[in-house]
């Protein structure tokens, strides 16, 4: 059952990104996309999605899957736990990745796609320090 839910979430996210991927910058270039995995997962979750984008001629250099250093969230966000990240840790990693993608691609805007528990994190990043 969990697998079916996960596949459904990925399919919905991929569909949404494909629609958003049709949005172009002033230079008629697709926007870079950063895929963020959920709690306890890895960037490998996005391999099939990346292949699908590539096979539909989305430029590979505009696709990034962020692999969080400590993908498990803390039990209590403000209490340190070995091998687990706080929301602030993830926000820093996401902000660094967004800056790197913007620098590498020259794009002002990017598309963030998040899965499962990580979904609020890009929203918090965008509200707190994104643009």
Looking at residue 72, its pLDDT comes to 80
Residue 25: its pLDDT value, please?
A: 42
What SS3 state is found at 114? strand
The pLDDT score that the predictor gives to residue 98 is 94
- Helix orientation angle between 120-128 and 87-105, rounded to the nearest 10 degrees: 70
Taken in order of first residue, the domains within the chain and their CATH numbers are: 2-128 (3.40.50.1820)
Provide the pLDDT for residue 86.
86
CA atoms within 13 A on the CB side of 78: 0
pLDDT of the residue at 58: 97
Sign of the torsion angle spanned by Cα atoms 43, 90, 130, 5: positive
* Burial status of residue 9 (CB atoms within 10 A of its CB: 0-12, 13-18, 19 or more): middle
pTM equals: 0.70
pLDDT for 128 equals: 61
The residue behind tokens 């993608």 is: 101
Provide block-wise average pLDDT over 10 residues at a time, the chain (131 residues). 54 58 62 90 92 96 92 84 87 92 95 73 59 50
For residue 50, what pLDDT is reported? 96
- Are 38 and 116 spatial neighbours (Cβ–Cβ below 8 Å)? yes
Burial (0-12, 13-18, 19+ Cβ within 10 Å), 94: buried
């Amino acid at each position: 059952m969990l697998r079916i839910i996960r596949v459904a979430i990925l399919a919905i996210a991929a569909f949404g990104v494909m629609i958003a991927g049709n949005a172009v910058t002033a230079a008629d270039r697709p926007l870079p996309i950063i895929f963020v995995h959920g709690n306890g997962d890895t960037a490998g979750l996005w391999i099939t999605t990346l292949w699908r984008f590539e096979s539909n001629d989305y430029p590979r250099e505009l696709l990034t899957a962020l692999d969080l250093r400590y993908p498990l969230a803390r039990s209590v966000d403000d209490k340190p736990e070995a091998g687990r990240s706080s929301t602030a840790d993830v926000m820093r990693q996401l902000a660094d990745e967004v800056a790197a993608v913007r620098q590498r691609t020259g794009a002002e805007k990017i598309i963030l796609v998040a899965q499962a528990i990580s979904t609020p994190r890009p929203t918090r990043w965008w509200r707190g320090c994104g643009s």
